[in-house]
């Protein structure tokens, strides 16, 4: 099963992708996490990606697509995967479609997690992220068991550099201009499902599972 998570920055794509992967035994692939791991390790890819991410812009398609296609070719993806943060442009979606066609595969579900812009800045200002395992928390809605510490791996949580309000507004503008058109793209492919992302995390998950298991 191949699932694409769509939605604005902070809509809850990563939170739901984690739950789906745990439930269905799929690999969770977040291009944002791949870039952040490379930034942390000081790789040339990380240095290149950082220039764009710090300003809330998209990393160029050519670089992103190369990383993604390499990642989905790994063994842990052979039974399916959830793409969180990819594709983000029509050209990225076209490359994915073409690559999947070659192995007689396709995107089975595109789940659009809908959250209005007004709620996004609040979510981002309260988000705390684990720099090691990528887990995401919210100081008010989804707090870790111990303040500031990741439940899963015990690392110290951080407030992501690109979660500052001014960068979040740039990310939202980029989302509307370049990523939102993917909603029509996947509607045209007959695989789009929209869900209300303003509900509590577990209710959103229940709605997604209802779609995946229908
Ligand atoms: P990326 O890491 O993908 O960021 P994003 O899409 O902006 O999404 P986020 O991770 O910020 O949010 P999310 O929707 O996963 O929400 P979360 O579950 O954490 O990308 C970062 C950057 O990398 C991009 O700006 C770009 O530069 C680059 N990049 C990445 N992929 C790229 C690509 N394909 N092409 C080009 N460039 C790319 O939830 C948010 C908060 O809300 C959390 O605190 C969470 O606890 C809380 N929350 C979640 N669900 C709920 C709920 N139901 N109710 C209340 N709170 C909730």
- The confidence score (pLDDT) of residue 99 equals 94
Residue extents of the structural domains in the chain: 2-117+165-212
60 CA to centre of ligand 1 in angstroms:
18
- The confidence score (pLDDT) of residue 50 equals 94
Atom of ligand 1 nearest to the CA of 84: 3
Sign, CA dihedral 121-126-130-133, equals negative
Alpha helices in 10-158 (DSSP H): 13-24, 31-40, 44-53, 61-72, 90-102, 117-126
Ligand 1 binding residues, C-beta < 6 A: 7, 9-15, 30-32, 35, 52-53, 56-59, 64, 85-86, 88, 92, 123, 126-127, 136-138, 141-142, 162, 171, 197, 200-201, 204
- The confidence score (pLDDT) of residue 75 equals 95
Given the residues 50, 71, 127, 128, select the one marked as catalytic. Answer: 127
**pTM (whole model) above 0.75:** yes
Which stretch of 12-16, 31-35, 56-60, 158-162 has the lowest confidence by average pLDDT?
158-162
CA separation for the pair 109, 99 (Å, rounded) = 17
Instruction: For residue 66, indicate whether it is catalytic.
Output: no
Phi, psi of 81 (to 5 degrees): -160, 160
Supply the CATH classification number for the domain 2-117+165-212.
3.40.50.300
Q: What is the mean pLDDT of residues 120-136?
A: 90
CB atoms within 10 A of CB 42: 9
61 CA to centre of ligand 1 in angstroms:
18
């Amino acid at each position: 099963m191949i699932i694409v998570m769509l939605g604005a920055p902070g809509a809850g794509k990563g939170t739901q992708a984690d739950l789906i992967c745990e439930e269905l035994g799929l690999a969770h692939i977040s291009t944002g996490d791949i870039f952040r791991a490379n930034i942390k390790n000081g790789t040339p890819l990380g240095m290149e990606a950082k220039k764009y991410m710090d300003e809330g812009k998209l990393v160029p398609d050519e670089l992103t697509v190369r990383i993604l296609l390499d990642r989905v070719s790994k063994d842990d993806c052979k039974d399916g995967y959830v793409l969180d943060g990819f594709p983000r442009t029509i050209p990225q979606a076209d490359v994915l479609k073409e690559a999947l066609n070659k192995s007689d595969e396709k995107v089975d579900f595109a789940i659009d997690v809908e959250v209005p812009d007004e709620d996004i800045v609040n979510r981002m200002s309260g988000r705390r992220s684990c720099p090691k395992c990528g887990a995401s928390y919210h100081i008010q809605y989804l707090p870790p068991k111990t303040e500031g510490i990741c439940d899963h791996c015990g690392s110290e949580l951080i407030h992501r550099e690109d979660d500052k309000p001014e960068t979040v507004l740039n990310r939202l503008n980029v989302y509307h201009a370049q990523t939102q058109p993917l909603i029509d793209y996947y509607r045209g492919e007959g695989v789009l499902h929209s869900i209300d992302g303003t509900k509590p995390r577990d209710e959103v998950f229940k709605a997604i599972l209802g779609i995946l298991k229908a």
